[in-house]
Amino acid sequence: MRALLAAALILIAPCSALADPGLSPDLAAKVDTAVTEALAASGTPAASIAVVRDGRVVYAHAYGQARRDPDVAATTAQRFAIGSVSKQFTVAAILLLAEEGKLSLDDTVGKWIPDLTDGDRITVRQILSHTAGYRDFWPQDYVPAFMEKPITADGIFDRWARVPLDFQPGEAWQYSNTGFTIAARIVEKTAGQPFFTFLTSRVLKPLGLDAADIDASPLGPHDAAGYTRYALGQPRPAPKEAPGWLMGAAQLALTPQDLARWDIAMMEGRLLKPESWRTMQTSVRLNNGQDARYGLGLTVTPDGSFRMVRHGGEVSGFLAENRVWPDLGAAVVVLVNSDYGDPASIAQKITALMPLSTQPTAVETAAASTFLAGLAKGHADAGHLTPDGAAYFTPAVVADYAASLGPLGPLTALKPLSRRLRGGFTEEIYLAAFGQKSLRVVARASEGKYEQFMAYPD
């Protein structure tokens, strides 16, 4: 066993790294060690990761073998199946159509698909939040024999959505791939085109994402291959689900950077309207008022004092973990090419290695210091304000800043505390010292101009 582990450590040497100055060599080395040790422990052939901080990809790295016999080294250019992480893309497609007035989250599914059980009561919102009651067609952690045969959406509906519900709509939360097959079919009926065609043209391409449709065919030789194992046996090529089973529920394969770019779009509020993103990331409540801790295609989890949305993914031969802290501009993506690895554990180890929030840069701190000192003297530099910010600083507001801060004496220190994304702006928080008086400063900026600059008693 020790010899096998030693061999595995050789096989999973880091390759294809992309580092940004935002991630120090020491921190990158610690991340590499955490991932390689995890792969060695599980026997997973490969992992591919991306780390986002301050709304940008600061590290992308691949480890191990994307394919075996013959061995092909993993690179960050290869796509891995992301399993149920695909569900949030399906939600985005639905929300785009809702924004256009072509459907509503509160439409009943029966409006679009006939003869579904309780289709006149169950809503689109409920199928996207796993609260509809439709039985999951894939509760197994392997590919049953029936899933090796192609199926249509109606074939899935006949067996799992035109039978008695597992519970009454809204009474419980229970994971159901069936609901997302229904959602994909609703997109097709509303848009008048195949689901993946709509998803590509309206969601993926506008964000520059190059996704593979693994429901149509397996990944090719330039992407990763999936592996499974039986007990503690050697990794073996994983059987593939037949066409039709993954539509809308687990259909996509992406590079880690592309999934990270999706996360950044979520942080910045691109593609969808702000209200749509909020709806997607807001946990639904059951009929009894209980928090389901799940929004639309996303698990909603408090992570200390920060809000985290996440989702795991599994299809035959692949596992994925995608964690996003929208308000902090941070994300961790982990993709592995085995269905027995543990990407969630790897993501947790990566997260533990780095602070989620950062501090304002020296340039940002200097700019804030200059602006605050100017306010104390009765001057708000319009050249450093957005139109909204300039409108806020009326003569009366500036006069109050000068009258209350000026007598305190000069600004003697401005200590940077934290920096994160919020609502499309960079939020900078400082502790300011005017002599013996301390003030907390909260600034929100975009491209070097302040949308907000406010001082409060500390």
For strands 46-53 and 299-303, give the pairing. unpaired
pLDDT computed for residue 328 by the predictor: 84
Residue 12 pLDDT > 50: no
Contact 399, 418 (CB under 8 A): no
pLDDT computed for residue 302 by the predictor: 72
Give the pLDDT band of residue 159 (cuts 50, 70, 90). Answer: very high
Phi, psi at 45, each rounded to 5°:
-65, -40
**Do 196 and 102 share a structural domain?**
yes
Please indicate, yes or no, if residue 298 is contained in any of the structural domains: yes
Highest mean predicted confidence (pLDDT) among 63-72, 409-418, 428-437:
63-72
| Residue bearing tokens 């590499």 | 32
**Do 368 and 345 share a structural domain?**
no
Please indicate, yes or no, if residue 41 is contained in any of the structural domains: no
Give the pLDDT band of residue 427 (cuts 50, 70, 90). Answer: confident
- Residue where one domain finishes, among candidates 353, 382, 403: 353
**Would you call 15 helix, strand, or coil by DSSP?**
strand
Task: Report, as an integer, the average pLDDT of 187-204.
Answer: 99
CATH of the domain at 385: 3.10.450.590
Please indicate, yes or no, if residue 30 is contained in any of the structural domains: no
Residue 20 pLDDT > 70: no
More confident of the two residues 36 and 436: 36
**Do 308 and 245 share a structural domain?**
yes
pLDDT computed for residue 304 by the predictor: 59
Contact 38, 342 (CB under 8 A): yes
For the chain, what's the residue count?
458
CATH of the domain at 132: 3.40.710.10
pLDDT computed for residue 140 by the predictor: 95
**Do 373 and 341 share a structural domain?**
no
Task: Report, as an integer, the average pLDDT of 273-292.
Answer: 97
**Do 382 and 245 share a structural domain?**
no
Contacts of 73 (CB under 8 A, 6+ apart): 15, 16, 62, 64, 65, 66
Rounded Cα distance, 322 and 267, in Å: 14
Residue 354 pLDDT > 70: yes
Identify the weakest region by mean pLDDT among 206-220, 293-307, 403-417: 293-307
Contacts of 117 (CB under 8 A, 6+ apart): 134, 161, 162, 163, 164, 165
Identify the weakest region by mean pLDDT among 84-93, 143-152, 364-373, 434-443: 434-443
Task: Report, as an integer, the average pLDDT of 24-33.
Answer: 94
Contacts of 309 (CB under 8 A, 6+ apart): 266, 281, 295, 298, 299, 300, 301, 323, 324, 326
**Do 154 and 271 share a structural domain?**
yes
Phi, psi at 412, each rounded to 5°:
-100, -20
- ∠ CA(36), CA(41), CA(44), 5° rounding? 70
- Residue where one domain finishes, among candidates 327, 353, 379: 353
Please indicate, yes or no, if residue 32 is contained in any of the structural domains: no
Of residues 205, 281, 215, 206, the one with CA closest to residue 246? 215
pLDDT over 70 for what percent of the chain? 94
- Which range marks the domain in which residue 368 is found? 362-457
pLDDT computed for residue 357 by the predictor: 66
Please indicate, yes or no, if residue 178 is contained in any of the structural domains: yes
Please indicate, yes or no, if residue 50 is contained in any of the structural domains: no
Rounded Cα distance, 221 and 241, in Å: 18
- Residue where one domain finishes, among candidates 319, 353, 387: 353
| 75-109 pLDDT tens trace | 999 999 999 999 999 999 999 999 999 999 999 99
Mean of pLDDT over the chain: 92
**Do 232 and 133 share a structural domain?**
yes
Residue 7 pLDDT > 70: no
**Do 237 and 129 share a structural domain?**
yes
pLDDT over 90 for what percent of the chain? 85
**Do 319 and 393 share a structural domain?**
no
Give the pLDDT band of residue 351 (cuts 50, 70, 90). Answer: very high
Give the pLDDT band of residue 422 (cuts 50, 70, 90). Answer: confident
Please indicate, yes or no, if residue 2 is contained in any of the structural domains: no
DSSP labels, 271-288: SS-HHHHHHHHSPPB-TT
Please indicate, yes or no, if residue 348 is contained in any of the structural domains: yes
**Do 415 and 287 share a structural domain?**
no
**Do 262 and 166 share a structural domain?**
yes
Residues facing 49 on adjacent strands: 61, 334
**Do 261 and 174 share a structural domain?**
yes
Question: How many distinct structural domains can be found in the chain?
Answer: 2
